Amino acid sequence: MFNWISPDIIALLTDPVVYQALLRGLGVTLEIAVITIGLSFVFGVLLGIFRFSKVPVFSQIATAYIEFIRNIPLLLLMLTCYFVAGLPSAAAAILGLSMYTSAIIAEVVRGGLNSIPTGQWEAARSQGFNYVQIMRHVVLPQAVVKMIPPIVSQFVTVIKDSSFAMAIGAFELMYEGTILAGQYWKATQIITIYVLIALTYFVINFLLSHLSRKLQTKLSAGRGTIGQ
Amino acid sequence: MGPFALTKWEATLSNYPIFLEGLGTTLIAAVAGLVLALMLGIIFGVLSTASSKITRGLSRVYVEFFQNTPLLIQVFLLFNALPLIAPKAVIPVVVVGILGVGFYHGAYISEVVRAGIQSIHRGQLEAALSQGFTYVQAMRHIIIPQAMRVVLPPLTNQAVSLIKNTSVLAVIAGGDLMYRGDSYAGNMGNYGPTYIIVGLLYFLLCYPLAFAAKKLEDKQEVS
């Protein structure tokens, strides 16, 4: 069809500049992802507890937030943080991603909280624990264990979704790669660069998905063996 | 003048045809993308439960590749590779978007279909085969109709994600709602009102589906 293993491609594949650019981009992608997961975990747990709570105003506000965010595109949130809020591109990417991801983590948290039988609430209450104490000492420690696998797999989603940040010019992997591709003019070279970017994402995400599945089986097999 | 000044709202709202055109493109991309994703999802989902190691492997490779790389890179690869594969054809950007979301969500739907099929007891397949059904007939008449019930809520959620992900078209100038809104806002400086309108339109498309998925899930929990 066309000669793929041409000198052009070999020159590209042996050029350290290519790998430097990809690694630089990967670093920023991971930075964005780690900060996003951290922020989203804190905010998601709060939102999840609000939604789970029996206080009407709290649960309604949390529900409205979660439902709205989950039904609009992530790209819109990033663009809003960048153009309307006027944040720098990396910060806008992190804030947009965190707003989005915390709504998803909130649902994970609610699922985790719902999985703890009501009998435990009653037992703890009969022992004189108040709501906050029950959450803190009885329910959350168990629920968090159940939340770990879905949160790890959410990490994969965040890494993938962070590529949308190229639309607002954050120098993550996708954008660095696209700039790199722009320096070449042959279609086969450009495609080779995109394949390299795809492989980079794939390796990281494949390992993380694998970890998530491992944790899932491990945590569902030996109940309460981790984090206790 | 603030980002949400009244005059900006007036200007934005008077340009409503821009949003409607974008919405039309988004709808076309979503419907066509969903049809493609469903076809791929059912084919690969069934393949992943077949007894042949080769078809299972094929399905695994498809799912792992598309689930572990960003949609955006898939679309960029397609965008650059299509002219090489079909040098003569003039392929509209929307088609690239449709293929992109179709293949991406096809991988997720394949997993949903697989889980659905595996939720049905093996004995049923064996019983059908012993009655002279072929594998395809057994799937078509016995397994899939039952699996539909398990599959429907996550499938509906996938449809919601697919609609949202058609916004990937904005990055490749695909003329969808996000792209039309964003380029209008960029030209006029009306980012605030534009993004609110665009957000509400996406919400109107997605929320009914998300709501239906929730209702289906609740129903399943009761039964």
Residue with tokens 């439902």: A67
What pLDDT score does A130 carry? 92
| Amino acid in position A176 | E
Angle value at C-alpha B29, between B215 and A160, nearest 5 degrees: 75
Percent of chain B exceeding pLDDT 70 equals 99
Tell me the pLDDT tens digit for each residue of B156-197: 999 999 999 999 999 999 999 999 999 999 998 889 999 999
| Range name among B101-105, B110-114, B135-139 with the lowest pLDDT average | B135-139
Mean pLDDT of B137-143: 89
| Mutation target vs A (from B63, B72, B163, B204; most A CBs, 10 A cutoff) | B72
Angle value at C-alpha B106, between B104 and B109, nearest 5 degrees: 120
Tell me the pLDDT tens digit for each residue of A84-113: 999 999 999 999 999 999 999 999 998 888
DSSP letter at A97 equals H
Sorting pLDDT into bands at 50, 70 and 90, what band is A224? very low
Contacts B210 to A, Cβ<8 Å: 67, 70-71
Nearest alpha carbon to residue B26 among B208, B214, B206: B206
B176: left (phi over 0), alpha (psi -120 to 50) or beta: beta
Looking at the complex, does the CB of residue B49 fall below 8 Å from at least one CB of chain A?
A: no
Complex ipTM: 0.89
CA A193 to chain centroid: 25
Residue B123 C-alpha, separation from nearest chain A C-alpha, in angstroms: 25
Percent of chain A exceeding pLDDT 70 equals 94
Integer CA distances (angstroms), A186 to A15, A57, A222, B85, in order: 16, 59, 54, 15
Chain A contact residues (CB < 8 Å to B): 2, 67-68, 70-76, 79-80, 83-84, 156, 159-161, 163-164, 166-167, 174, 178, 187-188, 190-191, 194-195, 197-198, 201-202, 205-206, 209
Copy the structure tokens of residue A173: 């992997």
Sorting pLDDT into bands at 50, 70 and 90, what band is A227? very low
Do residue A206 and residue B68 have CB atoms under 8 angstroms apart?
yes
What pLDDT score does A226 carry? 39
- Choice between B50 and A198, residue whose per-residue pLDDT is larger: A198
Sorting pLDDT into bands at 50, 70 and 90, what band is B222? low
| Mutation target vs B (from A1, A84, A158, A197; most B CBs, 10 A cutoff) | A84
Mean of pLDDT over chain B: 92
Measure the CA–CA gap between A134 and A195, rounded to whole angstroms: 50
Contacts A202 to B, Cβ<8 Å: 64-65, 68-69
Sorting pLDDT into bands at 50, 70 and 90, what band is A4? low
